[in-house]
Structure 1
Amino acid sequence: MLDDTTKGQLASYFERITQPIELVGSLDDSQGAADIRELMTEIAAIAPEKISARYDGRHERRPSFQITRVGHDMGVHFAALPMGHEFTSLLLALLWAGGHPPKVEPAVIEQIQALDGDFSFTTWMSLTCHNCPDVVQALNLMAVLNPRVRHIAIDGGLFQAEVEARQIMAVPKTELNGADFSSGRIEMGEILAKIDTGAAAREALKLGEKAPFDVLIVGGGPAGAAAAVYAARKGIRTGIVAERFGGQTMDTMAIENFISVQETDGPKFAAALEAHVKAYDVDVMTLQRVQAVEPAAAPGALASVKLENGAELKARTVILATGARWRNMNVPGEHEYRTKGVAYCPHCDGPLFKGKDVAVIGGGNSGVEAAIDLAGVVRSVTLLEFADQLKADQVLVNKLRSLPNVTVHVNAQTTEVVGDGQKMTGLRYKDRVSGAEHQLDLAGVFVQIGLVPNTEFLRGTVELSRFGEIIIDAKCQTSAPGIYAAGDVTTVPFKQIVIAVGEGAKAALGAFDHLIRQPVVEATAA
């Protein structure tokens, strides 16, 4: 199960365990149970003085295993063979149960330990999902720190019949006490905000007491991170407010065109962005959604950034780096069957459609890459492109057309997602040349048709293009004095990570150039 190199690495990590832990298997006669038993046995053999394993567990979910501190009943369970993307989740659960301190703020630990109530979480995930580990690890940590929190992570591939019966078509999907809790990636702060009812008010009060910033960046993607680093290096008071760090990169698997980094993946890249920003004196405020931006009323005055939780932040300059999001098809049935067949992440949700028929909408690089990826998992892929030819790089198109289980239709206008009220069952499209209507019987569709800038809250504040992008000049200045913008949210052509990073740096330099030409107001000394 584990090769010698991995065992050696685990032995090094297990040196950090300070309290004995126990693995408790609740098994059956399945092959999955045999694999779990083998993994448990090998882990225990690496550090027998610190880790023990037994196979007489009575958990109702079989096969599964529990990780707990000896003498305790920690609610950390895996109904999975946690390899692939979840191997890190397994390692962290072992270390945390063994007394190794987690890398989270003390205030977060205190908040988890103070939770009042019984919380039983279930997360459905896949081992190829790069968003799932964040959810699994957050809930596992909560179960380690608070005995009233229980969590079981279930591999949809191991329990595929149940996944189909429950009509789970997108991961991660989390339930709390048997009711829907969340779909998609969710961070620790978001989880706590949903179950700790007083958290939002406390956070709003704390944010509202902050002194004004010289530069306040809205958005935590590549452009926002670069702007924060460049601003902080100028020695000015810098803040960054964002829903999450990483932006779209968190939903990107392979990154092979960021110059000087030959290959990485989205979550690793996002973590590196965050670490770089936090290496400087930047006030990082995540899990916050901006509701409105009000430019300064006069030269030297302060701009206002209002958050949805009611807090208001002040700044001498603001850099908007809110990025973009996946574009919807906007056809009947898309919203109704979202996460019930309609998906946007082939890496996350592809394994849930193993052996089934799916479609991909979009013939650009993202769509063709998705179709190639899915072709190795599903029974068949039908790619629909609105234009008269695929727009992806030729090398990708050649690869796509070499696959025997892929069909391509160009001049295809998707008109409706159809279903039975519970899940998607098919897709209707029209041939734009002949006008003929067609219906495909499908289990799922992956939408890959471009991006929409996140500017709804800015209408009437700064000038936008007809596509909703923020119009900027050569220094990233918007139509509002003291308000700058950078990255995919702007009119800059070619939406690429490396370009967003450069634009973020340029916006910060533009904002600094603006600041040194403005009168200093008394309020900034607060």
Structure 2
Amino acid sequence: MLDANLKKQLDTYLQNIVNPIEILVSTDDSAKSKELLSLCEEIAELNSKISLQVLTDGRERAPSMAIAAQGQAPRVRFAGIPMGHEFTSLVLALLQAGGYPSKADPELIEQVKQLQGEFHFETYISLSCQNCPDVVQALNLMAILNPNVTSVMIDGALFQEEVAEREIMAVPTVLLNGKPFGQGRMTLKEIVAKVDSGAAKREAAALNEKDPYDVLIVGGGPAGAAAAIYAARKGIRTGIVAERFGGQVMDTVGIENFISVNYTEGPKLVASLEQHVKEYDVDVMDNQRAKKLRKDGLIEIDLESGATLKSKSVILATGARWREMNVPGEQEYRGKGVAYCPHCDGPLFKGKRVAVIGGGNSGIEAAIDLAGIVAHVTVLEFSDTLRADAVLQKKAASMSNITIIKMAQTTEVRGDGKKVIGLTYKDRERNEIYHLDLEGIFVQIGLIPNTDWLKGDLELTRFGEIEVNSHGETHIPGVFAAGDVTNVPYKQIIIAMGNGAGAALGAFDYLIRSSVEDEAAA
């Protein structure tokens, strides 16, 4: 299972185990059980503090492996073979069960330890999903820290009958005590806030007590991170408030145009950004969504949690989100066949018929990726030409299970009340209506700026983007903006970072000029 290089790396990591641990493997006579058992045997051979026990009583999903401190009932389990993106989840579970301390915030760790009640989490994942490990690792840590918590990772591609029975159509999907808890990327802080009902109120009260900032950045993507670093380097009081650090980049798989880095992935880039930001005196406040911007002397940002933050200047870097089709049935079947991440959710549609909406680079790349998993992909493009690069179009055309339909306007997502069963589209050239029977729809039609909360308070373009000048200034003195949320052309990571740096320098210049004017007026 493990090649020599990976085994050597794992051996190094496992030297950090402090206390003896047990791996309990539940098997049947399947080939996958043999693979998992082989993996567990290789792991156990690497460290004398790891013991292995094989179970064939059928009480647990097979194949699966449980990890626990020796002598304790296991609370962390992997149903499937935790390789791919989940290999890191496996390594962390081994280390943490063996007494290696987590790097999570100490206050958050204590909050987890104090949780009362019974919390049995089941997380459905795909091994190709880059969002899933964050959720799995957070829940595993909770289970290791608190005896009232259990966590099971379930590979949806391996346990397809269970996925179908429970109507799981997106990953990660989390069930708590058998009932839906959440979908998509969730941080440890977000999960704890959902199960600890008083957490949000306590945090809002703490935020209200914070002194005004010199620069407050709203948004934690590349633009926000760059702005924070440039502002903090000027020695001024700097804060970041964001729904999640990293923003849209966290959902990006391959990045090959970040200058000086041949290839990286979104989560890796975000981890580097976060580490860089933390090297400076920046107050990072995540899991918070902005609701209102006001200026009355100081600039105030109201948050949905009920807190209000104040600052002498503000940089808006709230980025963008996936654009939706806005047709009947889309919201009703979101996560039930309507998806926006082919890398994450694609494996759940193995052997099925799906559609991709959009013929740009994202849409054609999605179709090519999905074609290797599903039975057939139909691409629907609104215009009479594809916008994807020629090399992508050529590749898609060479694949026998991809059909491309141009001049197609999706008008409805059809379902049976539980899941997607097809879509309806109009041939814009012939003005005729057609129906496609399928089980999945992947929407890839670009991005829309996150400015709904600013309407009426800030000048926006007809596309909803914040209008800025070359210094990142908006029409309100002291309010700047940067990145994909603005009208700056070409939505690229490296451009957003440059915008963030420029906005921070613009804000610093504004603060200097404002202080001089105040002194002159006095």
Give the TM-score normalised by structure 1.
Answer: 0.97
- Output the amino acid matched with 1:399: K
Q: Following the alignment from structure 2 to structure 1, what is the Cα–Cα distance between the partners of residues 431 and 176? A: 47
Q: Distance in 1 between matches of 2:9 and 2:222?
A: 32
Quote the Cα distance in structure 1 between the aligned partners of 2:204 and 2:452. 22
Q: Which residue of 2 aligns with 1:52?
A: 51
* Correspondence 1:90 to 2:86: no
Report 1:346-425 matches (<5 A).
346-425=342-421
Q: Partner of 2:230: helix, strand, or coil?
A: helix
Q: Of 416, 429, 445, which residue of structure 1 is paired with 2:425?
A: 429
* 1:323-361 deviation digits (Å, cap 9, x = unpaired): 010011011111111111100000000011111111100
> Helix, strand or coil for the counterpart of 2:55?
coil
Which whole-Å deviations, capped at 9, do the CAs of 1:226-263 have from their partners, x for residues lacking one?
10011011111100000111111111100000111110
The Cα shift of 1:57 comes to 6.8
Q: Please say if residues 62 and 80 of structure 2, whose CA atoms lie closer than 8 Å, have aligned partners that are also in contact.
A: no
Partner residue, 1:227? 227
Q: Is the 8 A contact 2:368 2:396 kept in 1?
A: yes
Per-residue displacement from partner, 1:25-55 (whole Å, max 9, x unpaired)?
12222222222111111110111x2101001
CA–CA distance in 1 between the matches of 2:123 and 2:142?
14
Cα deviations by residue, 1:61-110 (Å, 9 ceiling, x for unpaired): 23211100001124100101000000000000000001111111110110
Q: Is residue 2:480 matched to residue 1:484? A: yes
Q: Compute the TM-score of the two structures, normalised by the length of structure 2.
A: 0.97
The match for 2:436 is 440
The residue aligned with 2:275 is 275
Q: How has the CA–CA distance of structure 1 residues 25 and 435 changed in structure 2, closer, same or farther, with 3 Å as cutoff?
A: same
Residue 59 (structure 2) pairs with residue 42 (structure 1) = no
Contact 1:24 1:57 in 2 (8 A): no
SS at 2:515's partner residue?
coil
Report the equivalent of 1:333.
Answer: 329
Question: 2:240 aligns to what?
Answer: 240
Conserved? CA contact 1:80–1:155, under 8 Å: yes
2:187 aligned residue: 187
The code of the aligned residue for 1:508 comes to A
| 2: CA distance, partners of 1:22 / 1:455 | 50
Matching residue of 2:19: 19
Q: Is the 8 A contact 1:122 1:154 kept in 2?
A: yes
1:507 matched to 2:503: yes
Q: Which residue number corresponds to residue 253 of structure 2?
A: 253
**% of aligned pairs identical?**
62
Aligned residue in 2 for 1:126: 126
Contact map agreement 1:74 1:147 (CA 8 A) in 2: no
> Structure 1, residues 456-492: CA drift from partner, whole Å, max 9, x if none?
1111211011111101111110011100000110111
**Structure 2 counterpart of 1:493, from 489, 496, 518:** 489
Counterpart Cα distance in 1 of 2:63 and 2:7: 23
Gaps of 5+ in 1: none
* Residue correspondence of structure 1 range 195-210 to structure 2 within 5 A: 195-210=195-210
Could you say which residue in structure 2 is the equivalent of 1:138?
138
How far off is 1:56 after superposition? Answer: 2.4
Give the letter aligned to residue 460 of structure 1: G
Over the residues paired in the alignment, what is the CA RMSD in angstroms?
A: 1.2
Q: Secondary structure at the match of 2:315?
A: strand
Q: 1:76-115 counterparts in 2 under 5 A?
A: 76-115=76-115
Q: Deviations over 1:404-460 (max 9, x none)?
A: 111101110001111111110111111100111111111101000011111111112
Tell whether the 8 Å contact from 2:28 to 2:56 is kept in structure 1 after alignment. Answer: no
For 2:74 and 2:166, the matched residues in 1 are separated by: 27
* AA in 2 matched with 1:130: Q
Q: Distance in 2 between matches of 1:142 and 1:134?
A: 12
Aligned residues: 517
- Tell me, in whole angstroms, the C-alpha distance in 1 between the residues paired with 2:73 and 2:509: 58
**How far apart in 1 are the matches of 2:289 and 2:439?**
34
d(CA) in 2 for partners of 1:520, 1:279 = 30
- Whole-angstrom CA distance in 2 between matches of 1:165 and 1:74: 26
- CA distance, structure 2, for counterparts of residue 308 and residue 426 of structure 1: 36
1:15: Cα distance to partner? 0.8
